[in-house]
Structure 1
Amino acid sequence: MLNLTELEQLITFADCGTLSKAASQLHLSQPTITRTMQHLEDTFNVPLFIRGKNKITLNETGMQAVKYARQLVADAETAASQIQAFHARLYTIAVETCAPAPLWSLLPLLSAQFPQQTISSKLSEVPTISQNVAAGICDIGILPYHADSDELTCIPVLQEKLFVCIVPQHELANNNSLTFTALNGFNCLLRSQIGFWDELCHQKMPASRFLIQTDEFAFKELIKTSTLPCFTTDLVKDTQDFLYGRQIIPCTDPEANVTYHFLCRKKRPDLIALANQLRMQNRL
């Protein structure tokens, strides 16, 4: 039976070129490596080395053995990582969302309903979310629209409305409402990690340039000191500090008023019940 540890030593010998260098790299004694090479020849039942005075080198069969050894070790590492990932998934509820706001109410609810489970979440591209839920890569998906499927349940759970935040001296400040067309061409501040909102702004405002901030503190400080427009939504709390003095103007484009939908597999009645609880909590 082939031993993975011995195969790894064979690979190291092939990479290092000498037994002494391989032993040094593996923190083993040279006699130990020598015995391993001999045992591998016994296991394969063929000669793998050309032996000279105080030196061995791989013969043609030995080089082929190294090739297979690399594949076997790589396969073993892949198998181990996949088994570990499978085990972790048994005790994890994975959420993929198109925007951060739905997580603010969803994650506390998940933690309360499934206290023994690990909850993981990440922002994902909209087209991949329903595919990943259907494939079992994630348990819950949050989309900005309804998705029909024979395998999946889709439930509206939350609404979010976009607003433009403008300083009083800005030429758009006197408007009661705004559209992306009216904003197109004006440069804006934009927070990173906002999911599909980022793509929407770039798509609808191609003539605008965006100063994107990855740090929340820096973003808020720029809002206080800059005259550039920025965005907020009705789900963002505690905005008075950094939006003080700005006009908060609703954006009336249909795309700026989003109903988020909770997506899960139909064979998960526990998650469907949670989605309905979230929908009632948000009064939809």
Structure 2
Amino acid sequence: MNIRHLKIFITVADCGKMSEAAEKLFISQPSVSQAIKEIEDYYGVKLFERLSKKLYITDSGKLLLRYARHIVGSFNEMESALKNSGENICLHIGATVTVGTCMLNEIINKFEEENKDISTKIVVNNTNIIENMLLHSDLDIGIVEGKVDDKDLVKIPIYNDRLVLVAGRNHNFYYKDEINIEELTGQDMIFREKGSGARESFDSILEENNISVNEKWNSNNTEAIKNAVIGGQGLGILSTLIIENELKNGTLHIIPIRNIDILREICVVYHKDKFISEHLKKIIECIKCLKKEF
């Protein structure tokens, strides 16, 4: 068995059909079938079940897939590093929305200034998507706020981010100094999308206290959420990192919730099987050094 076998197996797992995998790899379908059979014979396991002309990965297949993605990822990284050893190295970095909005520019600018031979490519999305990209070796590292529970990912905490309830001037909560959690019952809320760290943190608090609110808006754009709250469309849950200007000019007001403090860790995250090159060590150290400045 070799890297070719693993690349074919990963493609079949992603496509769910051998015919689609063959088209994607520009090889014949019998070649794909033969490669899968050779892996199954080699390990004495079944990788896929065929039901209604579709392939479903088995538990053994899922186990192999976790290793295969990172073996192939490390192989591709090695190939790139050796073939381009005299050229610019590129790191693929993922960040969640709050990090991308408030922290990432300073981190990347400082890193690239100190490491002119290394370039970066950035993806900003919600926690679930960044986590999934790390698990699929599409990113080298991520900087995320929110829960990351997958046991295959290593987390290094760098900052404690505070989430707060905010209201615009047109909302009757704007002039409140504090509320009880029960006062949120039935209130219009401007929420982040499912899968975001802020959304999951606040949803868990509502669930714990058996509070039902009205999800009036749902957006993956923090500026849209801020503008909706400022415009009086409802209440929002936002990081203190992204509302500093609005608090200063009074367009937003923080309403503390009695006995509830919403803190979440911002972490550097990478796969436990990821080879931490000298370049990755440099960006991780750069992030750690900057954490006290926010």
The answer as to 2:191 corresponding to 1:190 is yes
Deviation at 1:272, TM superposition (A): 3.8
Distance 2:280 2:173 in 1: 48
Contact 1:157 1:259 in 2 (8 A): yes
Partner residue of 1:105 out of 98, 103, 106: 103
Give, as a single letter, the amino acid of the residue that structure 2 aligns with 1:76.
F
**What residue number does 1:138 align with?**
139
- Aligned runs of 1:62-211 on 2, under 5 Å? 74-76=24-26, 91-97=89-95, 99-103=96-100, 104-114=102-112, 115=116, 116-126=118-128, 129=131, 132-133=133-134, 135-143=136-144, 144-145=146-147, 153-167=154-168, 170=172, 173-176=175-178, 179=181, 182-190=183-191, 195-202=196-203, 204=206, 206-211=212-217
Deviation at 1:260, TM superposition (A): 1.1
Deviation at 1:187, TM superposition (A): 0.9
Deviation at 1:94, TM superposition (A): 2.3
**What residue number does 2:267 align with?**
261
Structure 1 stretches lacking a partner, 5+ long: 1-68
Distance 1:261 1:160 in 2: 10
TM (norm. structure 1) is 0.53
Give, as a single letter, the amino acid of the residue that structure 2 aligns with 1:274.
I
Contact 1:94 1:119 in 2 (8 A): yes
Distance 1:219 1:127 in 2: 20
Structure 2 stretches lacking a partner, 5+ long: 1-18, 29-71, 82-88
Instruction: Look up the SS of the partner of 1:164 in the other structure.
Output: strand
Distance 1:239 1:75 in 2: 51
- Aligned runs of 1:6-85 on 2, under 5 Å? 74-76=24-26
Distance 1:213 1:135 in 2: 26
> In structure 2, do the counterparts of structure 1 residues 178 and 140 end up closer, same or farther at CA, with 3 Å as the change threshold?
farther
**What residue number does 1:280 align with?**
289
Instruction: Look up the SS of the partner of 1:102 in the other structure.
Output: helix
Deviation at 1:117, TM superposition (A): 2.0
Contact 1:157 1:276 in 2 (8 A): no
> Percent of counterpart pairs with the same letter?
11
> In structure 2, do the counterparts of structure 1 residues 189 and 148 end up closer, same or farther at CA, with 3 Å as the change threshold?
closer
Instruction: Look up the SS of the partner of 2:292 in the other structure.
Output: coil
Give, as a single letter, the amino acid of the residue that structure 2 aligns with 1:170.
N
Deviation at 1:186, TM superposition (A): 1.0
Larger Rg: 1
Coordinate RMSD, CA, aligned: 4.5
Contact 1:160 1:258 in 2 (8 A): yes
**What residue number does 2:246 align with?**
240
